[in-house]
Structure 1
């Protein structure tokens, strides 16, 4: 119980400290989410354990700002971090029917035993046709000590409402690659080397509540040679559930 109280306090402090300026702006929104784990690009960031998160988004002119704080449960992948805070700034524009978005995101790890923060930037192109939303994108992190080199993630994402039902189908596929300067630290984002991931899911959205379940998979083998940062047991196929409330 004491650890749970400390964790909630860490997340609350990190979230409030970073998002308060955003709340002062117009066009703001926020969500809270409880998930069976914090999953990113097919990898668990919370060692396969339940995670709680909160985020806020705001627009200032053409700039889009967001902040998200999520528990990482003393993650081995992130050197014992209790939580991660993601701070993003971006902008977008329309090219005909295509929406182009660019952003830069900093990831700050709270409670890690070493300096594990890093920065990455992305560009995406999205297209909507009826109930179908599709997106292609690339997210790149330049070479940094905390991640043992550089990292590039290319992905395709789509969601569509299923006719005659209140459900939305979600699909994503991606591939991570990059350079390696320190193999141990590179295993944080690419356990054992370059890999591919995929996601198939269903969401039920009603008013401000979203309930989702996803099948997450990667082609990472638990038998790969990797460092302790790889957390290989939480990088293979599994089911992830989540409940999100927006306000």
Structure 2
């Protein structure tokens, strides 16, 4: 006579058989086990967890502390979920770069932001998805008179670029914070169109800072730049020319970015790259009258950095 197996309504006999019995065929085992487990789970909840919940309810902090093993399992579960929830971000974040640099001056658009003093700089770029990345830079300013005595400038931004054959279009937004100074921060947005041909590239850029009290109005900066890697060498030569203009509603603040209502700047640089190391020498100048602004004339800036 064939052996009779307990029905799903008798979960106790399946889990707590008085005597071990030979395993049933797979088809019968599948039908009997799943309902039994479900029924047993309800039994465990009603008989075991209800008293625990009643015990914890008056003072839930008694049950908030996890045993060491439970904490380890909780952390393991959290990390497992995170690893499955962010696969794409992790893939692109693996291309993140960090750079440490020292330079003899902090020159932007031909103007010294560090009052001609040497600076230290740390920067990071983290690609999140294809074409989209976040970047940040922190630079020492040592009490810059141009920026209200700021000790540093922190630039945080995001950019999105698309490659269309040899052309590349990029949109960006950036905000400049000035630790150590009051109400000096401002934001700007920009668009860059570039063309790459072999080791050479050419860019056209427009960056606009809308009217803000920190800069005494608005500011538009148009520029064009070109760079070429010298074949067979670790050197790259580049140059640029730019024009700054805008409306000044508060002339005292507008001179931060534009000592004159309209001015031009230009520069040329040579950079050396070898592995994680880099160094460069850059010449910068403007057409600003030296009597109108200090540290806005011709200057030679040296830098050295390490990227990892």
- TM-score normalised per structure 2: 0.68
4+ aligned runs moved over 4 Å, structure 1: none
Q: Paired residues, what number?
A: 218
Q: Which residue of 1 aligns with 2:124?
A: 56
Q: Which residue of 2 aligns with 1:175?
A: 243
Question: Is the alpha carbon distance of 1:129 and 1:86 closer, same or farther for their aligned partners in structure 2, counting shifts above 3 Å?
Answer: same
Could you tell me which of 235, 239, 244 is aligned with 2:296?
235
The answer on 1:129 being equivalent to 2:190 is no
1:164 is displaced (CA, Å) by 5.0
Are the aligned partners of 1:81 and 1:111 in contact in 2 as well (CA < 8 Å)? yes
Larger RCO: 1 or 2 (CA < 8 Å, sep 6+): 1
**Which of the two has greater strand per residue?**
1
Gaps of 5+ in 1: 1-21, 225-231
Offset from partner CA, 1:72-95 (integer Å, 9 cap, x none): 110000000000110001211123
Q: Which residue of 1 aligns with 2:138?
A: 69
- TM-score normalised per structure 1: 0.85
Aligned equivalents of 2:285, 2:296: Cα separation in 1: 8
Could you tell me which of 212, 225, 230 is aligned with 1:157?
225
Bigger CA drift: 159-168 or 173-182? 159-168
Could you tell me which of 152, 174, 180 is aligned with 1:105?
174
* Other structure's SS at 1:146 match: helix
Gaps of 5+ in 2: 1-88
Are the aligned partners of 1:26 and 1:60 in contact in 2 as well (CA < 8 Å)? no
Question: Is the alpha carbon distance of 1:222 and 1:203 closer, same or farther for their aligned partners in structure 2, counting shifts above 3 Å?
Answer: same
Are the aligned partners of 1:32 and 1:246 in contact in 2 as well (CA < 8 Å)? yes
Offset from partner CA, 1:91-115 (integer Å, 9 cap, x none): 1112332110101000000001x20
Report matched runs for 1:181-220 at 5 Å.
181-220=249-288
Could you tell me which of 147, 153, 174 is aligned with 1:84?
153
* Other structure's SS at 1:110 match: coil
Q: Tell me how large the CA RMSD over aligned residues is.
A: 1.6
